[in-house]
Amino acid sequence: MAYSQRCSLPTPLTPSMPLSGSITEQIESLPITPPEISEPFYDHNFVADSKTIKKALHVLATERLALSHLEDLYSNSAELQAFLLQAIRQIIQSETRHGKTIFTGVGKSGHIAKKLVATFVSLGIHAVFLHPIEALHGDLGVVRPNDTVIMVTFSGKTPELLSLIPHIDPSIPLIVMSGHLSEQSCVILRHPTRANSRNILIPTVIHESETASFGVSAPTTSTTITLAIGDSLALAVADDLHSAAGLQTPAIFAANHPGGAIGQQAGAHMSKPGHQHTSTATTAAAAAAAAAVAGGVGVGAGTSDPMAIAQLGPALDPEPRMSDIATIVSHIPIATPRPGYKDLMCFDVLLAAVRSPKGFVRTSPHHMIGPRRIQNLPSTEVGVADLTDAFGGVVIEKTDWISVLGSTTVDECRRWIHQMRNEGCGRGREFLRRGTLLGIVDGNNEVTGIVEIEEMMGEEF
């Protein structure tokens, strides 16, 4: 609605006499929440300015077209898919080596970077935001070995980021989300200090400039595209990272986002029968999650040997269950070689064990060393990859973990182990001995915890 001229409203007269009574008597108190607007309030004779509405709809259509264009671009380009995959793998590598993802940017790009940090963190991926100016005034100390830096800059030549580049260690991998299709056209990636570094370009190109679309160069389409690409990175990394550790992304998100409507919805989903220790769910899951002792132990071993199936359903009495004594797998650190070392040494494992809840250490998402084996490691400068002791290989692969349903009581598990030791044969007797690791699985057949067999059966087992 347009007005041909601005009308001035009359100024109320100042009362010559003071108002009688107190203010509270004069003005009726108003509710904090505004009342619902009644139907007569609306002016049914109001006609929307078609030019204004068309402008708004044009913006929506343009941004939808930009997203569609970006999807087509990535779907039909093996090179762009390779860029995306490199970025996903790099972020996962930082995470598994106890590093983090550091987003940086200024202006609207900085706001997008902050939003992506929030998304990464909610999905269980360590991420922080670093302002480039603050970085040059002391905050650069947040960048540590094994981190990955992601710069968000549509132009690819943001001055504040160019000032930061020389001060980032060349050994730190750099991912740049920018409106360029090649590294050669991106000024930041052509910086001399990054000549021999690991650099990854994630193109966030748009089909036409924002000036051409809207007559103004305000970041609109470009920020929408960048946000979409960032979300795709976050979800792809989360699924790959958590599935490798035997976890599920929805469960991680629900644990990190208990508040608000989203938290209520996630909590309701996790409380459905499939996520409860109900008799129906646990009976079905017991067979699927049973110990596949005969043909390769652990989740996904795929054996049908009756001896391998441990029907470990929940007991009726409120006794301690395996999930109660298990160490959560996602809380167990992954040991990495020290700088200058190619192989993982016993010393690296000991360093990681200090930070571990119960002394467990992972050497990869699929390999584990129990605390009792760690206590008996030889010289600190001995490699652990092929290290053996009296019980076999020190590093135990996930396929050799004995799978036990988390809702199984501790007593039931003990009885089953004794029975298998007394009556079993072959791999059953071979694996159910000292040094064995028990992989504790949930109702979705995912390994979420770990227990040393000695913790259940005693040191003389």
Q: For 225-241, how does the pLDDT look when each residue is reduced to its tens digit (9 = 90+)?
A: 999 999 999 999 999 88
Mean pLDDT of the region 84-100: 90
Q: Identify which has the larger pLDDT, 242 or 135.
A: 135
User: Six-digit token pair at 93?
Assistant: 């590598």
Q: Identify which has the larger pLDDT, 267 or 436.
A: 436
In the chain, the amino acid numbered 44 is H
* pLDDT surpasses 80 at 294: no
| Highest-pLDDT range among 12-21, 180-189, 383-392 | 180-189
Mean pLDDT of the region 99-114: 95
Is 449 in contact with 323 (CB distance < 8 Å)? yes
> Percent of the chain, pLDDT > 70?
72
Mean pLDDT of the region 325-346: 88
In 249-395, the DSSP E strands lie at: 327-328, 361-364, 367-369, 388-389, 392-393
Q: What is the pLDDT of residue 23?
A: 39
Q: What is the pLDDT of residue 39?
A: 53
Nearest-angstrom CA–CA distance, 188 and 191:
5
Q: For 214-223, how does the pLDDT look when each residue is reduced to its tens digit (9 = 90+)?
A: 999 999 999 9
What confidence tier does 90 reach under pLDDT thresholds 50, 70, 90?
A: very high
* pLDDT surpasses 60 at 119: yes
Is 119 in contact with 226 (CB distance < 8 Å)? no
What confidence tier does 296 reach under pLDDT thresholds 50, 70, 90?
A: very low
User: Six-digit token pair at 458?
Assistant: 């005693």
* pLDDT surpasses 60 at 38: no
Tell me the pLDDT of the chain averaged across its residues.
78
Q: What is the pLDDT of residue 46?
A: 55
Q: What is the DSSP letter of 58?
A: H
Q: What is the pLDDT of residue 283?
A: 30
CA atoms within a 13 Å half-sphere pointing along the CA-CB vector of 41: 5
* CATH domain 327-457 topology: CBS-domain (3.10.580)
Q: How many CB atoms are closer than 10 A to CB 74?
A: 17
Q: What is the DSSP letter of 198?
A: -
Query: Alpha helix locations (H) across 76-128?
Result: 78-96, 107-122
Domain boundaries, the chain: 51-246, 327-457
Nearest-angstrom CA–CA distance, 115 and 134:
18
Mean pLDDT of the region 275-304: 34
Q: What is the pLDDT of residue 280?
A: 32
CA distances from 88 to 81, 170, 227, 284, 436 (A): 11, 20, 16, 35, 34
Determine which of 4-8, 88-92, 232-236, 371-375 has the lowest per-residue pLDDT on average: 4-8
Determine which of 155-159, 258-262, 321-325 has the lowest per-residue pLDDT on average: 258-262
Determine which of 45-59, 77-91, 309-323 has the lowest per-residue pLDDT on average: 309-323
Q: What is the pLDDT of residue 234?
A: 95
What confidence tier does 368 reach under pLDDT thresholds 50, 70, 90?
A: very high
What confidence tier does 291 reach under pLDDT thresholds 50, 70, 90?
A: very low
* Domains 51-246 and 327-457 agree in fold: no
Element (H, E) at 128: strand 127-129
Q: What is the pLDDT of residue 311?
A: 39
The residues that bridge with 150 in the sheet, in sequence order, are 103, 175
Of 184, 189, 125, nearest to 153 by C-alpha is 189
Q: Identify which has the larger pLDDT, 142 or 252.
A: 142
Q: What is the pLDDT of residue 48?
A: 60
Of 191, 208, 188, nearest to 106 by C-alpha is 188
Mean pLDDT of the region 66-91: 94
Q: Which CATH architecture describes the domain 51-246?
A: 3-Layer(aba) Sandwich (3.40)
CA atoms within a 13 Å half-sphere pointing along the CA-CB vector of 282: 17
* pLDDT surpasses 80 at 207: yes
Q: What is the pLDDT of residue 263?
A: 62
Nearest-angstrom CA–CA distance, 401 and 350:
22
* Burial of 336 from C-beta contacts in 10 A (0-12 / 13-18 / 19+): buried
* pLDDT surpasses 70 at 304: no
Q: Identify which has the larger pLDDT, 162 or 376.
A: 162
Q: For 428-446, how does the pLDDT look when each residue is reduced to its tens digit (9 = 90+)?
A: 455 566 778 999 998 777 8
Helix-then-strand count for the chain, H and E: 17, 14
Nearest-angstrom CA–CA distance, 274 and 68:
36
What confidence tier does 265 reach under pLDDT thresholds 50, 70, 90?
A: low
Q: What is the pLDDT of residue 315?
A: 36
Prediction pTM value? 0.53
Is 400 in contact with 385 (CB distance < 8 Å)? no
Q: For 137-186, how does the pLDDT look when each residue is reduced to its tens digit (9 = 90+)?
A: 999 999 998 899 999 999 999 999 999 999 999 999 999 999 999 999 99
